[in-house]
Chains A and B, each alone.
Chain A
Amino acid sequence: MAIQTIQEKQEEIVSEFEMFDDWMAKYEYLIDLGKDLPLIQEELKTDERLIEGCQSRVWLNAAFTNGKMQFSADSEAIITKGIIGLLIRVLNDENPETILKTDLKFISDIGLQEHLSPTRANGLNGMIKKIKMEALKYIQH
């Protein structure tokens, strides 16, 4: 299989979500995705990897090998895990420069923009910021 670009990955997610005609079906799918999230190892759930949301805590680990970044994460809330799963699917195995300049527009395209609002406070905003901060560390000067 040819390697997908970030853009193609986002488009693929959008077309997957287009198959669902109601909100509950979309969320059912998100919950399933949450169950498949590449989980962060328990011993890596440290304060440095913790993103405090108001409602559910999120942990993120970033690794850098062969010029590409790999992420694993966990959250107390399964819907949040599902959304993180989508984020990781889009950003995993990409180089830091690409991650930094990517506009993650699939989130609003599939109708999940409410999870990005600061009032939602589920850690997703902090999560994206954290991913980009991690990417910044590995930028090749």
Chain B
Amino acid sequence: MTEIIKKPFNVREIREEFPALRQEIYGKSLIYFDNGATSQKPQIVLNAINKFYSKENANIHRGVHFMSQKATTEFEEARKKIQHFINARKAEEVIFTKGTTDGINLVASSYGELLTAGDEILITAMEHHSNIVPWQLLCQRKGLILRVAPINFKGELIVEEFDILLSKKTKLLAITHISNTLGTINPVKELTQKAHAVGAKVLLDGAQSIQHMKIDVKDLDCDFYVFSSHKLFGPTGIGVLYGKEDLLDRMPPYQGGGDMISRVTFEHTSYNELPFKFEAGTPHIAGGICLGTSVGFLNSIDLDGAQKHEGELTKYAEHLLDTFEGLQIIGEAKNKTSVISFTVDGIHPFDIGTLLDKQGIAVRTGHHCTQPLMDFYKIPGTTRASFAFYNTKEEIDLFVEAVEKSINMLK
């Protein structure tokens, strides 16, 4: 494929694409630092949503009429765009889901059927509840054992302990690529090799990595990779499960319904082929198409430059916050992304979050759906600022000023 020369990344120009960033909250210019929860949408995605429902809305995969065929083509084109974006071998390996959580549940239900009592599933201490609870439910159902690889206080996986827990009994390693609370980037390629060496499959939770780094599922060699569209500047309610074709072929269907069958009688039903076997019912058509638009948008920008900018923002913010007495950054892994979680001695995160909100700054406070991780650090929660490439150093200056003001008010 020919490499298109892209314009170097420019944050001012990128911001112009995101109308949600141009608004006032409580009379202050919005500073949106809750990108770990969801990202804002570029105008081109908003236009695509509007265009689909204004002119192209039709059900897909079965209509003979013009609009249905056009919608089908666009939906399947989106699948191909996503395939290339993550470098999957085939479009059939890209299954549309409702999002990351749905993808994990699909694997737990379907791949889980291939497991038997005594088999083990290995996760880590930094997983989101979405990558804990589906495995607990599966373990209860099938008599499996859930193992949890510990982390150190900096928020890094303790690889020596991981190595001990990984064994021939391990049938699946389900691990987050990047921690939503700590920002830690796990060495997933290396861990995948180790898991494969003992015969285990690997699921990567890509909810926090797809928007921050180039994902190449062939290179990572993971068996499953799941992510959500809405954290990738696309619509909510749609996401992707990538799975290796031979494995997906061996797995039983997840949900039954229309579209996922090839022939139904009351005695016997045979299933459709990939990817439709896992896509029962009318999918989120507009969502899939507009996620394709978002991927197209990302393909058009200098993502290396964007990633470098995010790294600079994080370093800059950490450097400024470090000077505050009583403020601890939670998550100091050597290899981390643009997430800063922190606590302040004697101050509850809810209070800081509330005061930041009144100063026009959107952050997340609480346990971030990682309660076991909060228990590990013995804290009730953190205040989390998470940056996207459209954030600026000026916003960080205002944020740090607002944190200082909030702490002074709460002391």
Using a CB–CB cutoff of 8 Å, the interface residues on chain A facing chain B are 22-24, 27-28, 31, 54-57, 76-80, 122
Contacts and interface: CB of A to CB of B under 8 A. Distances in A.
Given A55-B380, A76-B380, A77-B348, 12 more contacts: A27-B358, A27-B409, A31-B409, A55-B349, A55-B366, A56-B350, A76-B350, A78-B348, A79-B351, A79-B354, A80-B350, A122-B350
Contacts of B405: 24
* Closest 3 pairs between A and B when the two form their complex, measured CB to CB: A77-B348, A23-B358, A77-B350
Contacts of A27: 354-355, 358, 409
Nearest to B354: A79
Contacts of B347: 78
A27 B351 CA distance: 10
27 contacts: A22-B27, A23-B26, A23-B358, A24-B355, A24-B358, A24-B405, A24-B409, A27-B409, A31-B351, A31-B410, A54-B366, A55-B348, A55-B349, A55-B366, A55-B380, A56-B348, A56-B350, A57-B380, A76-B350, A76-B380, A77-B350, A78-B347, A78-B410, A79-B350, A79-B354, A79-B355, A122-B350
Interface string B330-368: 000000000000000001111100110011000001100
B381 A55 contact: yes
Contacts of B410: 31, 78
Contacts of A77: 348, 350-351
A115 to B, nearest CB: 9
B298 to A, nearest CB: 30
Interface residues of B, number: 18
Contacts of A57: 380
Nearest to B359: A24
A57 B350 CA distance: 11
B234 to A, nearest CB: 23
B380 A56 contact: yes
A24 B359 CA distance: 8
Given A24-B359, A76-B380, A55 B350 contact: yes
Contact of B348 (A22, A54, A76): A76
Contacts of B359: 24
A31 B348 CA distance: 12
A28 B409 contact: yes
Contacts of B349: 55
A28 B410 CA distance: 8
A56 B381 CA distance: 9
Contacts of B351: 31, 77-79
A80 B353 CA distance: 12
B371 to A, nearest CB: 10
A69 B174 CA distance: 53
Contacts of A23: 26, 358
A54 B351 CA distance: 13
Contacts of A79: 350-351, 354-355
Contacts of B358: 23-24, 27
A77 B354 CA distance: 10
Contacts of A122: 350
B263 to A, nearest CB: 46
Contacts of A55: 348-350, 365-366, 380-381
Nearest to A28: B409
Interface in B369-410: 380-381, 405, 409-410
A77 B380 CA distance: 11
Contacts of A76: 348, 350, 380
Nearest to A75: B348
Nearest to B26: A23
A125 B229 CA distance: 33
Nearest to A32: B409
A77 B351 CA distance: 6
A141 to B, nearest CB: 40
A122 B348 CA distance: 11
Contacts of B409: 24, 27-28, 31
